[in-house]
Structure 1
Amino acid sequence: MSESWIVVGAGSAGCVVANRLSAQPGRRVTLVDCGPALLPGGVPAGVAGSSFFAALQEPGRMFPDLLATRATGIPATVYQRGRGIGGSSAVNAMVALPGSESLYRGWGWSDCAEAWSRVQIPAELAATSELGAVDQALLCDDRAEPLKLTRQNGKRVTSAEAYLWPVLDRPNLTVRSEAPVARICIDARRATGVVLDDGSELEADHVVVCAGAIHSPVILLRSGVDTPGIGSGLQDHPSVVFTLRLREEAHHASDGLPIASALHASVGSDVLQLLPMSHIGPARETAGLGAMMAALMTPTSRAGSVGISRSGTPVVNFALLDNAHDMQGLVSATRLALDLLRSTAFDQIVERIYIDDRGTTIEALTGESSIEAWVRTHCGDYVHATSTCAMGTVVDDDFAVAGYQNLYVCDASVFPSIPDANTHLPTTMLAERFGLRHLRDV
């Protein structure tokens, strides 16, 4: 007897889940996503290229109306989540970092080694010829290192390419793009399918929500799922950015690789990250500009939340600097960046360093109070939303939603807390854990 599964969301987790579930012939799997398709021979130029700035500009590849408040006193702006088959893996910076093994062990995840061994996302270093001047300047510091990127032979590999394309011929797997889910059908606290925005209903024995840490709780809340904790505990990596006016000889092609290196440092229990950008996109007004991002990779605040408006749209507040620890951590990351930007290596490539869009320069940061004031009013995110359906609170160790049958969540929303790394690879590993736990004969 066969059983049917619906997987909602075809990003870093959903592509893996659909692949692993459909590996069992006795399962009929339908993968649905609200955005555009990503098929062999049909990859948009921006997604196929080296720059995530170009990928984000491809039609339908992000949510233009998704607004988020980062911190108190900072106006809400667009949150650049990936959309469509491949999700954020089609538009991210391709940074391939696994995160801390000790963190996963602390959560009681004893199967991570096996899950990592199943990950099909390739990773490789950029060619030396691809490194821009900002990467090269950062690498003059002994603490910096080249980054592995989710590429193969110099080309981005999305989750769709790694996990869906090899199995598109499976007769028990259906992939539907441009099919936004309005809600999950619930009967006597058992998931029985989904209703799409157009009113059509897809029936299933099991539903796995893989729509990401913003939209998974939104779909659950719109469906009337009342498990405590849904939407609570939202986290991201708080960050600040310095804009660099590069000397002419340091200009980098706007379609080139923006990021190929990083610097990680520890201050007490905190992990700090500096990410250089050798260009910041193709727009005429950004020509000749680069950037340096400084981030706290180990935030502790859990005051962020995702809710829904009366019309069912997301209401997102990260509350990134809600506690003194995170504020001090981001100040430490800022100081680290300031020291580096004042080094000889950067002096040789940078004409001027700006700290806002009004032309204020780095010289305005004269002491501790000015740094703290700037951080508080210019804090941003890394687009690494997590933990809004946390394991141990909303879902159990098998990813099942507490209080419901045949309803699961598997994406970055189930991390008990945010990993200390860019979240694409950890989310892929997480989805492989789902596959292992649901690997059985039907």
Structure 2
Amino acid sequence: MPQIIVVGAGSSGCVVAARLSEHPDNEVLLLEAGPDRSGSATARQLASVNWIDAMRSPEAFDQNLRATRLAGGEPRFYHRGRGLGGSGSVNAMLALPGLPRDYDRWAAEYGLDQWAWPALRSWFDRLKPDLVASTREEYTPVDRALADAAAALGLPDDVDTFTSPDGGGPLWRTAGATARHSSLESYLEPARSRPNLTVRTGGRTDRLLVEDDTVTGVVLTDGTVHTADQVVLCAGAIETPAILLRSGCPRPGVGKGLQDHPAASVLLRLKPPHDRTDPAAPCIGAVLRLSSSMESGDIHILPMHGALSESTPAHHAVLMAAVMTVTSTGEVRLDPRDPTGPPVIEQRMLTTERDRAVMREAVGQVERVLRTGPFEDIVESAFLDATGTPLSALRDDDAYADWLAASVGDYFHAVGTARMGLADDPGAVVDQWGRIHGWRHVRVMDCSVMPEVPAANTHLPAVMVAERMSAVLVAELAGLPGPPGPHAPGRGAPRQ
């Protein structure tokens, strides 16, 4: 019976553990550094379909992580979920696959022929029926204004955002009518009663056990040793490279290639009655996809009804401008003062001229959207920060640069720190199926393997990666040829 350790119970790890344990010949141990919150008040809060409830649950995040967003910037708190479910239990539940050209570029530029869009379409199609889409009846005032603004700008206002056309439309979510359904709820919970699946929380993985070129298990930070025939790292784009660095992985690309979507927010004070919020409803239900002068579909304008912070004057909603196709890269590395502690995260967003130009266009599109009738009908004032700096300040280039330096954030979509690629590619850490180049019996199956961040929220692509790669491992353990198709439905499949 193969002994398999899965490290990390987030968006990918819950999928991998569930899929591997479908087969009774596999003995699966799922290790999670954070707690199991099942049945707790925090778990009930995180289940809410309103993302603001999750963001107001500090105990659900790793409070020790800090990251610099722009090169040379000051480290700020980095939002990363902690506990069973990982970041999938604290995300905004938005489920988009990205654009076909994202994956075609993986194939063309990195030699990943198994990851071109034609090979992935059926996998995303299989995930779609388990998602729900917002309806216009569920739209918040800013959702509705954004969709109507698309029409005012001559764009469609009802596109299927699972596909690629520009325009406004309802978002797909990993949620039901009343609760979040991320990987924890959809994959792991239905599998936890299996006798061949053990879930252990509260134990952080320090490093891999490596003998010559073979990985034989893991060592936790408290010294506990777990041995296995196979180890699968699903600790995410921050912790997976940290584990590999502490393990002495010889690939120079470990920790390099970090990407995320840079985002800038404009705060909106709404006119009554549009300022009223419904805490039982999703706070984000629509998106406006636009094309910059550089690329198609590379800008998102995302609304949020509600406030995560205080401001003067008070605001009731936010419009976020995000660059969805990114060329800047950062790095995750160990802190030499505390190698087993939180890693150093330098995102270095907007370091390329292209990314800076698209960010400027994205902010300009927010200003353009706010000048449309649908927003003029509901917005009393729009400003840039907690002190009420007006949008007109952005006309000054120095003020714009200062604003970005102080406020630009990430979308919590980190990828690329143990990326896929060919063995002779020095930046590549794993092959197309997550096997670490030069080491045996160890794989990576999380968003750190993505060579570039797709133009989408990364939860659904992370689930797709975990589905595909775990199917290959299942087939290999069973002695079957690959690459296989999707897992057989009905055996640990997502909740319908």
Q: TM-score, normalised by structure 2?
A: 0.84
**1:129 positional shift:** 4.3
Which AA in structure 2 matches 1:61? Answer: A
1:423 corresponding residue in structure 2: 458
Which AA in structure 2 matches 1:278? Answer: H
Which AA in structure 1 matches 2:416? Answer: S
Note the alpha carbon deviations across 1:376-434, whole angstroms, 9 max, x for none: 55322111101010101000012011111111111111001111111000111011111
2:472 corresponding residue in structure 1: 437
Please, what is the CA RMSD of the aligned residues? 2.2
1:296 corresponding residue in structure 2: 323
Task: Please tell me whether the aligned partners of residues 310 and 386 of structure 2 are also in contact (alpha carbons under 8 angstroms).
Answer: no
Matches within 5 A, 1:98-247: 98-106=97-105, 107=107, 108=113, 109=115, 111-119=119-127, 122-141=130-149, 142=151, 143-247=167-271
2:289 corresponding residue in structure 1: 264
Q: How many residues align?
A: 440
2: CA distance, partners of 1:86 / 1:121? 21
Residue 162 to residue 38, structure 1, CA distance change in 2 (3 Å)? farther
Residue 298 to residue 436, structure 1, CA distance change in 2 (3 Å)? same
Task: Please tell me whether the aligned partners of residues 7 and 17 of structure 1 are also in contact (alpha carbons under 8 angstroms).
Answer: yes
Moved over 6 A (4+): 40-43, 282-287
Note the alpha carbon deviations across 1:257-284, whole angstroms, 9 max, x for none: 2210000011231510000011124879
Matches within 5 A, 1:30-429: 30-39=29-38, 44-58=43-57, 60-106=59-105, 107=107, 108=113, 109=115, 111-119=119-127, 122-141=130-149, 142=151, 143-253=167-277, 255=279, 256-267=281-292, 268-270=294-296, 271-281=298-308, 288-302=315-329, 304-310=330-336, 311-312=338-339, 313-366=342-395, 370-371=399-400, 374-392=403-421, 393-429=428-464
Task: Please tell me whether the aligned partners of residues 121 and 159 of structure 1 are also in contact (alpha carbons under 8 angstroms).
Answer: no
Residue 42 to residue 21, structure 1, CA distance change in 2 (3 Å)? farther
Which AA in structure 2 matches 1:353? Answer: A
Gaps of 5+ in 1: none
Task: Please tell me whether the aligned partners of residues 118 and 432 of structure 1 are also in contact (alpha carbons under 8 angstroms).
Answer: no
Which AA in structure 1 matches 2:232? Answer: V
2: CA distance, partners of 1:121 / 1:7? 27
Residue 287 to residue 371, structure 1, CA distance change in 2 (3 Å)? closer
Identify which range, 124-133 or 313-322, moves more after superposition.
124-133
1: CA distance, partners of 2:315 / 2:328? 36
Task: Please tell me whether the aligned partners of residues 135 and 170 of structure 2 are also in contact (alpha carbons under 8 angstroms).
Answer: no
Residue 296 to residue 167, structure 1, CA distance change in 2 (3 Å)? same
Identify which range, 173-182 or 381-390, moves more after superposition.
173-182
2: CA distance, partners of 1:59 / 1:366? 36
Residue 23 to residue 214, structure 1, CA distance change in 2 (3 Å)? same
Which AA in structure 1 matches 2:335? Answer: S
Residue 118 to residue 295, structure 1, CA distance change in 2 (3 Å)? same
Gaps of 5+ in 2: 108-112, 152-166, 422-427, 480-496
Which AA in structure 1 matches 2:432? Answer: D
2: CA distance, partners of 1:55 / 1:377? 24
1: CA distance, partners of 2:357 / 2:94? 25
**1:121 positional shift:** 7.9
Identify which range, 108-117 or 191-200, moves more after superposition.
108-117
1: CA distance, partners of 2:308 / 2:67? 22
2: CA distance, partners of 1:134 / 1:294? 14
